[in-house]
């Protein structure tokens, strides 16, 4: 499959003097599920904001389909951790999913079809007329995912989206992401601080160094594509990969400590 994203010598300095991203380069194919991990505060969110065109890099480029990303683009949708704050309490589930589509030139019929399809895909058809505050945290995050899906982005960018939900809900949401990736072939960049989550979800894990961040390791996840919370996590290979990623992060942290 073709190249979707290219990040080349990306650098981001927050004025006056916080160098968040040092020199970061990687590429991503269309249809890939890429997980990004790194020590706390290393610049993961900064990277996502640069990818999404929400933040202007100090140096280097982000290219999508060969063209530089210079601002927010309809080709990308972002799901943040704080689903509670990203949903409008006065709109129904359907209304929340539909809202961004108002910026697209679509017929009412087409818009309704996209909304229904996305709500169905995240398993919320039965609560489409409810309001977000009537739903559990996990369901609210599903609404945020449906909203991103309905927008039909070329890449879905997720920033620690499941950090605030309980373990069982998190496992269900992870399987939803795997499922959406498998059935719809969506390209996903998934940032997490959870090593197990990165290995369970990803086809590839990018480990970032401490700030100013660079790519410390780029590991293919050679686990079978059919994943299952119990059996996949019990595979010896899963444990090996998790150990590898964990060690890379530990080294990244130590590197951070000795940096001037
Ligand atoms: N708007 C900003 N202005 C100044 N400095 C910032 C800003 N946003 C982030 N930083 C700094 O840039 C560095 C990277 O922050 P960033 O939030 O990208 O890291 P992160 O890896 O996402 O963190 P976490 O693991 O806590 O989610 C940190 O030192 C942070 O304090």
160 shares a domain with 45: yes
Q: ipTM of this complex > 0.90?
A: yes
137 shares a domain with 55: no
pLDDT tens for the chain, 260 residues: list them: 689 999 999 999 998 888 999 999 999 999 999 999 998 888 899 999 999 999 999 999 999 999 999 888 888 999 988 776 789 999 999 999 999 898 888 899 999 999 999 999 999 999 999 999 999 988 999 999 999 999 889 999 999 988 888 889 899 999 999 999 999 889 999 999 999 999 999 999 999 988 888 999 999 999 999 999 999 999 999 999 999 999 999 888 887 443 33
Kindly state if the Cβ of 43 falls inside 6 Å of ligand 1.
yes
Nearest CA to ligand 1 atom 16: 43
Question: pTM for this one?
Answer: 0.91
Q: Provide the pLDDT for residue 42.
A: 87
> Which domain-ending residue is among 121, 152, 183?
152
Domain count, the chain: 2
251 shares a domain with 189: yes
203 shares a domain with 114: no
205 shares a domain with 159: yes
Mutate which of 11, 45, 191 to test ligand 1's pocket (most atoms within 8 Å of Cβ)?
Answer: 45
> Which domain-ending residue is among 122, 152, 182?
152
Ligand 1 centroid from CA 231, angstroms? 36
241 shares a domain with 213: yes
Q: Provide the pLDDT for residue 191.
A: 95
Residue range of the domain that includes 54: 3-75+153-258
44 shares a domain with 161: yes
Nearest CA to ligand 1 atom 17: 45
HEC profile for the chain? CCEEEEEEEEEEEECCCEEEEEEEEEEEECCCEEEEECCCCCCHHHHHHHHCCCCCCCEEEEEECCEECCCCCCCEEEECCCHHHHCCCCCCHHHHHHHHHHHCCCCHHHHHHHHHHHHHHCCCHHHCCCCHHHCCHHHHHHHHHHHHHHCCCCEEEEECCCCCCCHHHHHHHHHHHHHHHHHHCCEEEEECCCHHHHHHHCCEEEEECCCCECEEEEEECCCCCCCCHHHHHHCHHHHHHHHHHHHHHHHHHHHHHHCC
Q: Provide the pLDDT for residue 1.
A: 60
In a domain, 81, yes or no: no
Q: Provide the pLDDT for residue 228.
A: 92
């Amino acid at each position: 499959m073709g190249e979707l994203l290219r990040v080349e010598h990306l650098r981001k300095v927050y004025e006056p003097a916080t160098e968040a991203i040092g020199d970061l380069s990687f590429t991503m194919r269309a249809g890939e599920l890429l997980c990004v991990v790194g020590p706390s505060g290393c610049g993961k969110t900064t990277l996502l904001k640069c990818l999404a065109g929400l933040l202007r890099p100090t140096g280097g480029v982000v290219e999508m389909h060969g063209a530089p990303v210079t601002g927010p683009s309809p080709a990308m949708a972002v799901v943040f951790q704080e689903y509670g704050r990203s949903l409008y309490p006065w709109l129904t589930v359907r209304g929340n999913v539909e809202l961004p589509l108002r910026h697209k030139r679509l017929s009412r019929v087409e818009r309704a079809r996209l909304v229904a399809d996305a709500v169905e895909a995240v398993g919320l058809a039965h609560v489409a007329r409810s309001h977000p505050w009537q739903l559990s945290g996990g369901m609210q995050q599903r609404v945020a995912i449906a909203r991103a899906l309905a927008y039909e982005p070329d890449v879905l960018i997720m920033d620690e989206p499941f950090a605030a939900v309980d373990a069982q809900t998190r496992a269900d949401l992870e399987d939803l992401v795997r499922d959406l990736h498998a059935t719809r072939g969506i390209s996903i960049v998934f940032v997490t601080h959870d090593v197990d989550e990165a290995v369970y979800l990803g086809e590839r894990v990018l480990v970032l160094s401490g700030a100013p961040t660079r790519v410390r390791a780029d590991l293919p996840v050679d686990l079978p594509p059919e994943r299952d919370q119990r059996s996949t996590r019990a595979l010896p290979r899963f444990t090996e990969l998790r150990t590898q990623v964990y060690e890379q992060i530990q080294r990244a942290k130590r590197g951070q400590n000795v940096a001037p």
